[in-house]
Amino acid sequence: DTAVSQTPKYLVTQMGNDKSIKCEQNLGHDTMYWYKQDSKKFLKIMFSYNNKELIINETVPNRFSPKSPDKAHLNLHINSLELGDSAVYFCASSLGTGGTGTQYFGPGTRLLVL
């Protein structure tokens, strides 16, 4: 059974479109995250939710909107996609908040904006 899953795995779209990425975890964790990995492999946190409550919101354009319908799901919606949004987006989860809990990562969603 996959612990942290993301859909879709690949996403190719045109500039200006709106797209969503979904994440689900079956580990019983209470905290979930979205990370962005750029072309140089640099990994940066975007958002974190604990028990459906937003606890980390880094300096991310407001075109990005996370949504957590329950503890096991964290989705990411992106409006008006730009070329610079092309990256790999990773979902992760942990028990407890991110400073100390081991985070488990999904396989990533590779987004290409044309």
Least distance between other proteins and beta carbon 54 (Å): 12
CA distance 3 to 1: 6
Residue 60 within binding range of other proteins, rule CB under 8 A: no
Least distance between other proteins and beta carbon 17 (Å): 24
32 contacts 49 by C-beta, under 8 angstroms: yes
- Tally of CA atoms within 13 A in the half-sphere of 79 that contains its CB: 7
Tell me which stretch binds other proteins (CB under 8 A): 17-25, 39-47, 60-68, 71-79.
Answer: 39-47
Cβ neighbours of 74 (radius 10 Å): 28
Residue 66 within binding range of other proteins, rule CB under 8 A: no
Residues that bind other proteins (CB under 8 A): 4, 40-45, 48, 55-56, 90, 92, 97-108
